[in-house]
Amino acid sequence: MRPMKVSLFVTCLIDIFQTDVGMDTLELLENLGCEVDFPEKQTCCGQPAYNSGYVDKAKESMKHMINVFEHSDYVVTPSGSCGTMFREYPHVFKGDPVWEPRAQMLADKTFELTQFIVDVLGVEDVGAKLNGKATYHTSCHMTRLLGVKEAPMKLLNNVEGLEMKPLPHNYNCCGFGGAFSVKMTEISEQMVDEKVQGVEDSGADILIGADCGCLMNIGGRIDRKGKPIKVMHIASVLNSR
């Protein structure tokens, strides 16, 4: 069989801050037999501007990204939130005769990492090994807007040595919300504290997530509070051997 051709969209947070997550994603996909490329002209999905109401400005980066991934078969991203943003593009360009169809093409071939592995590759056990007790944060955009609920759990349940603990009140937002985290810091603090409390109550010593924004938020708070909880992106967990 011809190997699946996948274009990696790493997101700006991973490009600049969490490079190891990018590497893990790359290796994971390659190990699963995909031919992975990284279109170097990629920047950001536009979400920071879009969610702050700067739609016109966001559209500029959206158009750029549509161009960048024009020739890809599949676009895979280790971020539920940025994946959701790509899927939203047709909505943003609604009524635009040129850009709406192009946006639709990008949306149709974009997948969040775990969604791609389970739904497209049809793999539920990636052969990962990791010892520990872990809990999983269901990020809001990935769960509610992208509708990816089962895939991460299927994959995590098959990681050898990993004991998954339910996260109490997992449906609650962690309080990140992009600009919200710095605009409404006081409220954000209450929300992230509630989330950290939930993680502690779960009895896990590893917190896993599929969105770097949420993980930077929860992880940053865990770190500040000096809690003995390790924070890992799901790509890194699935790439553990």
Partner 1 sequence: MAMKIGDKPFKERVSDGIGNSFMRGAVSSAQGRLRSGRLNAAEELGNWEEWRKLGEEIRAHTIENLDYYLELLSENVTKRGGHVFFAETAEEANEYITNVVKKKNGKKVVKSKSMVTEEINLNEALEKAGCEVIESDLGEWILQVDDHDPPSHIVAPALHKNKEQIRDVFRDKLGYDKTEKPEELALFAREKLREEFLQADIGVTGCNFAIAESGTVSLVTNEGNARMVTTIPKTQITVMGMERIVPTWEEMEVLVSMLTRAAVGQKLTSYITALTGPKQEGEVDGPEDFHLVIVDNGRSKILGTAFQSILHCIRCAACINVCPVYRHVGGHSYGSIYPGPVGAVLTPLLGGYEDYKELPYASTLCAACTEACPVKIPLHEHLLRHRQEIVEKEGKAPIFENLSMKAFSMGTASPSMYNIGSKLAPKALGAFAKDDKISDGPGPLKNWTEIREFPAPKKDRFRDLYKKRKKERGK
Q: What is the binding site for partner 1 (CB under 8 A)?
A: 10, 12, 14-19, 22-23, 26, 38, 40-44, 46, 48-58, 60-61, 63-64, 68, 140-141, 144-145, 171-173, 175-192, 194, 216-217, 219-221, 223-224
Report which residue type is found at 92: V
User: Nearer Cβ to partner 1, position 4 or 184?
Assistant: 184
Q: How far is the CB of 122 from partner 1 (least distance, A)?
A: 27
> Rounded to whole angstroms, how far apart are CA atoms 92 and 235?
29
Q: 231 pairs with which residues across the strands?
A: 207
User: Nearer Cβ to partner 1, position 114 or 181?
Assistant: 181
> Rounded to whole angstroms, how far apart are CA atoms 61 and 52?
14
Q: How far is the CB of 161 from partner 1 (least distance, A)?
A: 27
User: Nearer Cβ to partner 1, position 57 or 230?
Assistant: 57
Q: How far is the CB of 44 from partner 1 (least distance, A)?
A: 4
User: Nearer Cβ to partner 1, position 131 or 190?
Assistant: 190
Q: How far is the CB of 109 from partner 1 (least distance, A)?
A: 21
Q: How far is the CB of 123 from partner 1 (least distance, A)?
A: 24
Question: Which residues have CB under 8 Å from 138's CB, separation 6+?
Answer: 149, 152, 167, 170, 171
User: Nearer Cβ to partner 1, position 83 or 162?
Assistant: 83
